[in-house]
Structure 1
Amino acid sequence: MIGFALAEDLPTPPRPLIDDDGRRRTVRYGGLTLFSAFEPIFSVSHMRAAGYEARLRAHDELNQSVSPLEVFGQAARLGDLLELDRLSQSLHLANFRGLEQEQGWLFLNIHPAAIADFRHGTALIEEMKRLDIPPQRVVLQMLEQPNLDPRRMLETVQLFRRHGFLIAIDSFGAGHSNIDRVWKVQPDIVKLDRSMVLQATQQPHVARVLPGLVALLHESGRLVLVEGIASEQEALIAIEANVDFVQGHYFARPSVSATDPAAAYRRFDQLIDQYRLRTAERERDEKDELAPYVAAVALAARHLTEGAPVENACAPFLRLADAARCFILDERGRQTGDNLLPMRPLRPRAKRFMPLLSSEGARWDRRPYFQRAVAGSGEVQATRPYLSINEAHLCVTLSVAYAGTDGHTHVLCADIDWTRHDRSTHAPVELAVR
C-alpha cells in the first residue's frame, strides 16, 4: 500500500495534520487519512443504543481501506504507538461530539502499552476537559495481556475511576483472559468475546454454561456485554443468557453517524417476541418428552404411600428408555438404600465412574431436586439438565415428596439420562408437573 512506503522513507514518525470542519474530524497521518466510525452498543431491555464503540478507520492515497492493525503496526515500528493511540482517542472524542448523543456512552479502546503510562491518562483527561465531555460518558476498554504489569494496571484503573470513567474488560473468554482479572480490576462492564456465543451455537454444553457465567458476573456486580453478534441465532442465545448489552453486525455496522432508534426498537421488539415464542415452544416439547417419566414417578409415589415395596413401585419407571436410577431420601435428604438401576448393562461411561455408583447414606439435601420436592406440595419436580455425579453424564432428576407408612416425609428421586435428548443449544427450564 502506498501509505506504508513511508516506513522506509521516514526515520521519524509522520506528523499528523488535523482537518476539522466543525462536525467531523479527520487526520492525515503520513499517507493515510484516519477517521472515526461508531458501532452501536444496544441495551437489550431498553431496545436502544446505550452507547457507541469508537473504531479507527483508515484510507490510503488511493482511497483503499487499511486495517487498524496495519496502522498500529506501522506506528509501532516507527516508535509512535502511544502517540497514535492518543491521536486516535482525540479523534474519536471530537467525532463523538458530532454524533450529538446527549446520553449515550463512548466506548474507547486503550492500547495495552498505554495503560502503563500515566501521561497517557493525563492527556486523555485534559482533552476531554477541552471538549467538555464528562468522564462518566466514557467507558475505557482494556484488553488483557499476559505481559502487562498487574500492579501498574490496577493503579491506572484506579486513576481513571477516581476521575469518573467507567471501566470495561474487553474480549473476555478469549486469549489470555481469566476470571481472576475480573475480581482484581472490578470493571463496570465485562465484554464477552464473540467466540463464546459462536461456540454456543455449535455446542449445547456451552449454551448451558453461558447463562451461568453471566449470572456469576452479575452477582459480582458487573454488567455483561456480548460483542460480535453476527446472526439471529447468536442474538437469541445472548438474550437467553440474560446479557445486558449486545453489539455486532447483526444489529448495526460501524458508521460515521448515529443509529436509527426507531429501527433498533423494532428489531429488538421482534427479536424478544421470537425469543418468547421459542421458549414457550421448547417448554412444550420438553414437557411432552418428560410426560411418560413424570407419570411413572407420580404413580410410583402413590404406590409408595400405600406401602408398596420400592422395587415394585419404581419398576415401570426403570423400564423406560432413558431411565437411569431411582432412589429414596428421608426428610433430612439422606439416601435410604442404594440406587435402583434398570435391568440392562451399564454403559461404558458409567463403568469409568464405578466408585461413585453406590450412594446409600449419601446426603442430597443441598440439591435443588430435594429442596423443591419438599416445597412442592406433592407435585413432581423436574430439574434443569446437569452433570450427574454418579456417571458424569447429562441428567434430569424428577422428584416428589410423599408420606411414608412410617408417618415421615420421604422424597422419591428418579434420574433420566438426558444425553440423547440434548439436541438444542438452549437449556430447559425447571418444571413443576402435576
Structure 2
Amino acid sequence: MSTEQHDKTATAPHGFDLSVASGLERYSAQHGELTLTSVFQPVFSLSHMRAIGYEGFLRAHDALDRPVSPLDVFGAAARVGEALQVDRLAQALHLENFALLGAEREWLFLNVHPGTLTDPYHAAALLANLRRLDLPPRRVVLEVLDVPNVPDVQGMDKTEAMDLDALAHAVAEFREHGFLVALDDFGAGHVDIGRVWQLNPDIVKLDRIMLLHAAHRADMAATLPALVALLHEAGKLVLIEGVETEHEAQLALSCNADFVQGFFFARPAPGLTDAAHAQAVIAEVTERFREQTEARERGMASRLAPYVRAFERAAERLGAGEALEEVCWNFLALDHAARCFLLDANGRQAGRNVVLRVDRAEHDARFLPLDDAQGANWLRRPYFRAALVAPGRVHASPPYLSINEALPCVTLSMAVQVGDRLCVLCGDVDWLAEEAA
C-alpha cells in the first residue's frame, strides 16, 4: 500500500488509500505496480429523466501514471489465476467509492464474475462490507455476465464448465438477501433467451451490438421493440447500454426501454452526474422523438387515406347487400392493395380472398399452401377484435407480417351489419419499408 501523505486526514479501509483530487475523495488500491480506483457511469430512467443508478468501472495506472486498460488488468490476472481476486478487489473499491459519492437512493451496478457469485465465502464478505458501509443490499444491482466461454468486457475468462444450475441457485440466494440482479451483455454474440428464464434477473441489459444492428438494419430496428416487449412480459426491466449517438437514443426510446446508459448521456466519472444537464439532454431527445413519431403517424395516415376512403365505400356497399367480389374493386385497384376478405362474428373467414391483379397470384406462387383461406380463423388477430369494439369505423392495424406471403402489411378492418349478421370486412395493404418511408 502506498505511504504517500494526503492533504486530508481520513481512515481508509485495510488495503486502500484515500486520496483527494479536484476536491473529490476517492479510495485507491495497489495491485502489483498498478494503482486501481473507480469511476461511475450513470444509468438513466428515460421516464424519470434522471439517474437511477451508477455502474462502477475500474481505472488503472502504472508506476509512471500511465493509464492501463481494464481489459489488460483482468486479462493479466486471468493468465496467472487471479481473476477472482482482482474481481473482488474491484468490487470492494467500487463499494467504498460509491459510499463516498453521497448518492442517497440510486443503485450501484456492480459487475460480478459468475465464479465469484458461486464462491461460498463471497456472499458473507459482500454482506459484511455493506453492513460496514451502512449500504443495504437493495441498493446494489449485481450484474451477471450473459455470454459463456468467451472473455467478458473486463477481459476475464469464464469457466467453461460453469454449472448454470449452481449459478442460478447463487443468484436466487443473493436476491433473497435483497440484492437486485441484472443479466449483462444480453445478445453479445448470441441471444440466449433461456438464460433469462434460468437466472430470473430483475433487469436485462441489452448489449450495444444489438443497438448497432438496429441502427443499420430496418429488420433489426423492427425486432428490437418486440424483444423489449417480450422481456417486459416476462417481468424484466430492460436497460440498453452503449448509447453513443442521438439516433441510438431515439431507438432506445422507440423500443420502450426502461433505462439507458452510454456516452450520449454521460461518460464515466469519479463523481455524481450533473442532474440538470442530464435532464436537459433527455428532455431534448424525448421532444425530438415526439416530433418524429407524430410525423411518422401523419405520414402513415396520409398514405392510407385513399385506401381508407375506398374501403369505407366498399363497406357501405357490402352493408347495402352487394356481393364481396363486387364491392372491393376500387380498393384493390390502388397500387399496394393486396386482398379483401370477410370474417364472421367469430373470426372465421367466409369465402376465399378477393385478389384483383394476376401478378399478385404469380407472386404468391411460393406460398400456394396458404392461398385458400376459406374457413380460416382470424380470431386472434388484433384487427378483428379492434373492429368489433367500434363497429362502423375503419381500424388500421400497425404494420405486421402477413401470413399470406411473409411480407409486412397493414390491415384495414370494419365491423359491418350484413343483413342479420355482423361481419368484419378486411383489406390488406402491402407495407414495405421503402414504400412506407
For the criterion TM > 0.5, the same-fold answer is yes
Task: Describe how 1:331-370 pairs up with structure 2 within 5 A.
Answer: 331-346=345-360, 350-370=364-384
Gapped regions of structure 2 (runs ≥ 5): 1-13, 149-159
Cα distance in 2 for partners of 1:157, 1:142 equals: 9
CA contact 2:147–2:188 (8 Å) conserved in 1: no
Matched with 1:5 is none
Task: Describe how 1:288-307 pairs up with structure 2 within 5 A.
Answer: 288-307=302-321
Cα distance in 2 for partners of 1:34, 1:189 equals: 28
CA contact 1:86–1:124 (8 Å) conserved in 2: no
The amino acid across from 2:19 in the alignment is D
Q: Note if 1:284 corresponds to 2:271.
A: no
Range moving further from structure 2, 414-423 or 159-168: 414-423
Task: Describe how 1:19-38 pairs up with structure 2 within 5 A.
Answer: 19-21=17-19, 23-38=25-40
CA contact 1:337–1:360 (8 Å) conserved in 2: yes
Q: Secondary structure at the match of 1:345?
A: helix
The amino acid across from 2:298 in the alignment is R
Query: Cα RMSD over matched residues?
Result: 1.7
TM-score (norm 1): 0.90
Matched with 2:247 is 233
Matched with 2:82 is 80
Task: Describe how 1:84-103 pairs up with structure 2 within 5 A.
Answer: 84-103=86-105
CA contact 1:112–1:144 (8 Å) conserved in 2: no
Q: How many residues align?
A: 408
Equivalent position to 1:116, from 111, 115, 118: 118
Cα distance in 1 for partners of 2:185, 2:435 equals: 29
Cα distance in 1 for partners of 2:54, 2:81 equals: 29
Q: Secondary structure at the match of 1:191?
A: strand
Percent identical: 50
CA contact 1:204–1:422 (8 Å) conserved in 2: no
Equivalent position to 2:231, from 199, 202, 217: 217
TM-score (norm 2): 0.89
Task: Describe how 1:103-252 pairs up with structure 2 within 5 A.
Answer: 103-146=105-148, 147=160, 148-252=162-266
Cα deviation for residue 368 of structure 1 reads 1.0
Matched with 1:308 is 322
The amino acid across from 1:91 in the alignment is L
- CA gap of 1:349–1:140, structure 2 versus 1, over 3 A, is farther
Cα distance in 1 for partners of 2:94, 2:308 equals: 59
Q: Note if 1:49 corresponds to 2:69.
A: no
- CA gap of 1:344–1:63, structure 2 versus 1, over 3 A, is farther
Cα deviation for residue 268 of structure 1 reads 1.3
Cα distance in 2 for partners of 1:419, 1:269 equals: 32
Deviation digits for residues 351-394 of structure 1, max 9, x if unmatched?
22111011011111211111111112311111111111111111
Cα distance in 1 for partners of 2:372, 2:208 equals: 42
Cα distance in 2 for partners of 1:347, 1:144 equals: 46
The amino acid across from 1:85 in the alignment is D
Cα deviation for residue 121 of structure 1 reads 2.5
Detail structure 1 runs of 4+ shifted over 4 Å in the superposition. 420-424
CA contact 2:51–2:106 (8 Å) conserved in 1: yes
The amino acid across from 2:380 in the alignment is R
Cα distance in 1 for partners of 2:403, 2:172 equals: 43
- CA gap of 1:348–1:41, structure 2 versus 1, over 3 A, is farther
CA contact 2:337–2:429 (8 Å) conserved in 1: yes
Matched with 2:272 is 258
Range moving further from structure 2, 283-292 or 334-343: 334-343
- CA gap of 1:165–1:75, structure 2 versus 1, over 3 A, is same
CA contact 2:388–2:415 (8 Å) conserved in 1: yes
Cα deviation for residue 46 of structure 1 reads 0.9
